[in-house]
Structure 1
Amino acid sequence: MDHFILYGSPISYFTGKVRAYLDWKRVAYREVLSSAEVYRDVILPKVGFPVIPVLETGRGEVLQDSTDIIETLEQHIGGPSITPAGGVQRLAATLLELYGDEWLVIPAMHYRWHHNRDWALRAFGELNAPGATPDEQWAIGSKRAGPFAQAAVLLGASTPEMQAAIERSYEALLAELDAHFQAVPYALGSRPSMADFGLYGPLYAHQYRDPASGALMRRAAPNVVRWVQRLESQTTPLGGDFLPHDEVPASLDPVFRRQMREQLPVLADSVARLRDWLAAHPAEPVPRAIGKHGFLLEGFEGERIIRPYSLWMLQRARDVYRSLEGADRERADAWLDRVGGQGFRLLPDGPRLRRSGLSVAEDR
């Protein structure tokens, strides 16, 4: 694979994840901004639906979905692997990717659309019409950004109480990550893993780059800022090691406890809701959302859409866990118990899913 083209945007959550991986692995690529013309002339004809990032190879192959892009490249290019050999570290990395991709989207969307809205509208206008005047870009951005702006509400930031809860949770997470990155350069050692790239998507594209969010991060979490900059820089050394003895650093325990406390109940309920939906809609394609459910955050109850795609990401983590045997399983269980992950350990697996475009389908 060579002569890659990355179709994406600086303001895109998942483009940031893929770009950081490509840069760290020293992959030669050219980035093309996803303007309205690029969507019309390239992305829709090649992919079939409007989405970024999209990676095109010199042989005309098209890859879409950040996880699929990175996993495919890992199989075809050399250099240090981002997948730890140890089973417990591999599970931890997959769980943190799940957390970054599917849970940190809540504060990412909330801060962008409730604290950085004017900046974001201009950025969307500049992206879609780079040659337009500032007033034209504002109007275009206001129109194009509508579905993205609504995402904050759909994901749970729908009331002042829930917005305040999201901010308390996120700012506490920043403090937890800041303490970790003061001690360890990346999530699991001196080499980035999929955990880092999963966390980088929201923490770079929305929270570091957006002005109000970036000011908060620089003030409250300077070690997180330095971690972002290590991954952002193309001069970051290609190498490093994961911690020895399959160790997951204790400095990450508060982050995993937060994930198990906040995200896991939502995933468990989503499994049950999807099972019920499939029973009521046999042979129908699974939509991107299957209704809404309640969730708890910082003592407040909100409502959010149920996203089956999150369960495909959960399935990947469950696959890693179920693959562990003997001493590896014992160590994984002990680690999960340490971080409040008994619910994950005992979670009944839901219907088997495969990714299908922007959504998922039951793997019959």
Structure 2
Amino acid sequence: MTNRYTLYGAEISYFTGKVRAYLRWKGLPHDEVPADAQVYREVILPRVGFPVIPVVVTPAGETLQDSTDIIDALEHRHPGPPVYPPGPVQHLASLLLELYGDEWLVIPAMHYRWHHNREWAMQGFGELNAPAAAPDEQRRIGAKLAQPFAQAAVLLGAEPSMHAAVEASYEALLGELDRHFARHSHLLGTGPSIGDFGLVGPLYAHQYRDPASGELMKRLAPRVARWVECMQRPGPPPPASGAFLPGDEIPDTLLPVLRRMMREQMPVLEDSARRVAARMAGHPGEPLPRTLGMHAFELEGCQGQRIVRPYSLWMLQRARDAYRALAPADRGRADALLARIGGERFAHFDDPPRLRRDGLSVAPAA
């Protein structure tokens, strides 16, 4: 038995960036294998049952899938230093930021990739899936494989009428993060939290690496670019260094990012919860579909449409669980933070019935 983990993923992949950063920061011995067509056919499909990355195979031969579940499983095996802050308010904030990165920043990530970096991305998909093919053949393969991802950019909310709003919101976020990183090396101190890993997925794979997006980030937010580089650095010396801010502090420089998350994402999560609860009431015991039609959302004063994604509520459920479990004194401090960031919607959220992850979607909890 080897003592090394194997990460099946891709540089071009949103969630591989999240897991890779975790493995590197923890100093966990691992090998990364690009998920080309052969790897999908011979490893991923037999082990997981559906085509998805990232996938981690443990030294004992266990298969882990889903970036959040992968990190949680590895954190249980390698608990120190933790990526979940011990302070209850920092813990809650880190979960909210992971939710924001995983489930909301997908909108600008997909927009910039498929509306500003399309040709580069298609070539990258071809190179990944057919590394031995000629460039023209890679381009043809990449164009075919990329088609559903390009369509997903619009379904997620980056329809033509929303392009300017998506870009305005993202560029404002870059400015907010850049001002934060002028004072702090990470979101909550000198080492990463689960929130850092949630944000680095989109900010590395789609925004830093894609050429047009990378130029934009380095020009508008050079400190964000340096944080991304730090988060993806192989074998940081020493591994797993850094600490969270003392006193369970949430830095003032992070409040604009949390306000943006509450303003943009929480109304969508509220409507998603209503739709999921209604669906579950009308179809008791049935699995939830991966999408439940379309609903409205707002960015920078503009109204758009996007698909309803029940999976986002499973991610929200993690933060809600942490909030509900707070002791009274800690709840008071968390409520004070939520009041400062416009988080009343989160504090009084009307939770749907409990959900469990089921592959790429979610289902009613048993």
Task: Please tell me the TM-score bracket, short chain as reference.
Answer: over 0.9
2:29 corresponding residue in structure 1: 28
> 1:74-95 deviations in whole A, cap 9, x for unaligned?
0102531111111000000000
Instruction: Provide the rounded CA distance (Å) in 1 between the counterparts of 2:279 and 2:41.
Output: 34
User: More displaced, 233-242 or 89-98?
Assistant: 233-242
Kept in 2: contact 1:24–1:236 (CA 8 A)? no
Structure 2 residues not aligned, in runs of 5+: none
1:71 corresponding residue in structure 2: 72
What letter corresponds to residue 207 of structure 1 in structure 2? Q
Q: How far did residue 53 of structure 1 move?
A: 0.2
> 1:296-332 deviations in whole A, cap 9, x for unaligned?
1111111100000000000000001001112111000
1:245 corresponding residue in structure 2: 247
Q: Matched residue of 1:183: which SS?
A: coil
Percent identity between matched residues is 64
Are residue 143 (structure 1) and residue 136 (structure 2) matched?
Answer: no
Are residue 229 (structure 1) and residue 212 (structure 2) matched?
Answer: no
Relative to structure 1, the CA distance from residue 78 to residue 293 in structure 2 (aligned partners, 3 Å threshold; closer, same or farther) is: closer
Structure 1 residues not aligned, in runs of 5+: none
Matches within 5 A, 1:1-364: 2-159=3-160, 161-234=161-234, 235=236, 237=238, 238-364=240-366
Q: How far did residue 236 of structure 1 move?
A: 5.0
Instruction: Provide the rounded CA distance (Å) in 1 between the counterparts of 2:227 and 2:298.
Output: 30
User: More displaced, 289-298 or 78-87?
Assistant: 78-87
Instruction: Provide the rounded CA distance (Å) in 1 between the counterparts of 2:143 and 2:33.
Output: 22
- C-alpha RMSD over aligned residues: 1.0
Q: How far did residue 342 of structure 1 move?
A: 1.0
Q: TM-score, normalised by structure 2?
A: 0.98
Instruction: Provide the rounded CA distance (Å) in 1 between the counterparts of 2:303 and 2:269.
Output: 16
Instruction: Provide the rounded CA distance (Å) in 1 between the counterparts of 2:79 and 2:324.
Output: 28
Kept in 2: contact 1:230–1:236 (CA 8 A)? no
Kept in 1: contact 2:286–2:364 (CA 8 A)? no
What letter corresponds to residue 259 of structure 1 in structure 2? M
What letter corresponds to residue 224 of structure 1 in structure 2? V
User: More displaced, 144-153 or 128-137?
Assistant: 144-153
Q: Matched residue of 1:347: which SS?
A: coil
Q: Matched residue of 2:333: which SS?
A: helix
Q: Matched residue of 1:248: which SS?
A: coil
Instruction: Provide the rounded CA distance (Å) in 2 between the counterparts of 1:3 and 1:239.
Output: 21
